[in-house]
Structure 1
Amino acid sequence: MHSNRTLKLGYLAGLITPLWLILGVAAAGSLYPGYSHIDQAMSQLGAEGAPTQSLSPVINNFPLGVLFILFGTAVALSFRSRWARLSGLLIMLHGLGSFGTGYFACDPGCAPENPSANQNLHNLAGLIMAFSLLLAGALWVWLGRRLLTSPGFAVFSLFCTLASLGALPLMAAALESGHGFGLYQRINYGASLLWVAGLAWMLMRRPCT
């Protein structure tokens, strides 16, 4: 039987993920002369040749990976439902993807015509991150009613999932135009992190069983 204290620590890890990302990206961006949070991808903070190449993974990707793995583990251990446990595994997979995007630095600019092996592995890890967390959130559109008896959280999960999805075509268009990619990427990822924090908050408030 897993102690309530252990699970609470896992929930706390999920609760602080949005704040950690905000502080980490802001700190790295402040040390990158001319960096634009509106136009540039977060990955450019750790790109080859960037002034924050070594720092960004250490304060962003790696600690966030740990937080996601801790939270995903807590979610998986909190329920007997296989779907809830699957959502926990997806959150853990997202954490592993965070390690991957930090370890495999993207090429300068992160969008080369002839990507290196590191760039391809970075992109793969990024796709794993995006779709694992998106799917985890989508599962709770249904699980929110069934396991938490909370129609409100189910609606919240739907809103965050749709917001994250809705930002994807905007990111693609911004990539073509060269303007606004950073903004839409932050909306996309921010919606998913808001959902993570929301689930963590709901789980922290559950009565002990």
Structure 2
Amino acid sequence: MSERINRWYYFSGVLAPIWLVIGVTIAGSVYPEYSHYNQAMSELGAKGSPSHILSPLINNYPLGLLFILFGIGIIKTFSTSTLARFSGILVLIHGLSSLSAGFFSCDVGCALESPSPEQNKHNISGLILFFSLLLSSLIWVFISNRCLGIKWFAWFSLACSLVAIALLPHMAAAIESGEGFGLYQRLNYGSQALWVLVFALILLRRKITK
């Protein structure tokens, strides 16, 4: 019974990246002239946007719950590895940050100049979102072989982490130029979401003993 319950936790990790793509696509479709190339995903839930109410309901809140469940699954699975359990806590924190980012909306356009107190909370939630999942993936660079018996997942975790880090300067430059931020943000978060998807599939397919 316990193994069957754990599989539902793992399935949450598989579903989260898929849900992300579908949710952002739907929210963007009800936002006239919204640009996935130039605009941040947070703008879908910004105050006054056409998708202000819809976006957190179909994106942040369900995604937050899915990440929380997946984090719990990691914690329950690797009961004897402190680092593995810590990575699960970080995924859980990522889920809580998603809920927070949805509850605290950014201002119209999500401009960084003179943000409202609510946008400041949204921005802090976004930073925690990024660093929690990044650190979780970096942990598996060092423990993948020991905890999973899979060497390639260590290299995969490293690659996903490096992609996310390498895109940060491009995101900063895009903020200055006003072009391409949406693309770089999606590639940045997409690399980490892909890591979650692959990790969850590994857990679904393997019987973990450590």
The TM-score with structure 1 as length reference comes to: 0.98
Aligned-partner residue type, residue 10 of structure 1: Y
Where does 1:90-105 land on structure 2 (aligned, <5 Å)?
A: 90-105=90-105
Residues 140-182 of structure 1: CA deviation (Å, up to 9, x unaligned): 0111111111111111101111111111111000001000000
- Between the aligned partners of 1:113 and 1:178, the Cα distance in structure 2 is 14
- DSSP-derived class of the 1:16 partner: helix
Where does 1:119-138 land on structure 2 (aligned, <5 Å)?
A: 119-138=119-138
Q: Which structure 2 segments of 5+ residues have no match?
A: none
Asked if 1:11 corresponds to 2:22, the answer is no
- Over 6 Å off, 4+ runs: none
Asked if 1:185 corresponds to 2:209, the answer is no
Asked if 1:159 corresponds to 2:129, the answer is no
Q: Is the deviation greater in 196-205 or in 88-97?
A: 196-205
Residues 110-129 of structure 1: CA deviation (Å, up to 9, x unaligned): 01421111010000000010
Contact kept, 8 Å, 1:32 with 1:51, in 2: the verdict is yes
- DSSP-derived class of the 2:113 partner: coil
- Between the aligned partners of 1:149 and 1:208, the Cα distance in structure 2 is 9
Residues 26-80 of structure 1: CA deviation (Å, up to 9, x unaligned): 0000000000000000000000000000000000000000000000000011012
Asked if 1:45 corresponds to 2:41, the answer is no
Aligned-partner residue type, residue 201 of structure 1: L
Pairwise CA distance, 1:6:
1.1
- Between the aligned partners of 2:139 and 2:202, the Cα distance in structure 1 is 15
Asked if 1:89 corresponds to 2:99, the answer is no
- Between the aligned partners of 2:113 and 2:192, the Cα distance in structure 1 is 29
Contact kept, 8 Å, 1:164 with 1:188, in 2: the verdict is yes
Pairwise CA distance, 1:208:
5.9
Residues 66-123 of structure 1: CA deviation (Å, up to 9, x unaligned): 0000000000110120000000000000000000110000000001421111010000
- Between the aligned partners of 1:164 and 1:122, the Cα distance in structure 2 is 20
The TM-score with structure 2 as length reference comes to: 0.97
- Between the aligned partners of 1:193 and 1:207, the Cα distance in structure 2 is 23
Pairwise CA distance, 1:207:
2.1
Q: Is the deviation greater in 2-11 or in 168-177?
A: 2-11
The aligned residue for residue 118 of structure 1 is 118
Q: Which structure 1 segments of 5+ residues have no match?
A: none
Aligned-partner residue type, residue 36 of structure 1: S
RMSD, aligned α-carbons = 1.0
- Between the aligned partners of 1:208 and 1:47, the Cα distance in structure 2 is 42
Contact kept, 8 Å, 1:140 with 1:157, in 2: the verdict is yes
- Between the aligned partners of 2:207 and 2:96, the Cα distance in structure 1 is 30
Contact kept, 8 Å, 1:4 with 1:208, in 2: the verdict is no
Aligned-partner residue type, residue 4 of structure 1: E
The aligned residue for residue 28 of structure 1 is 27
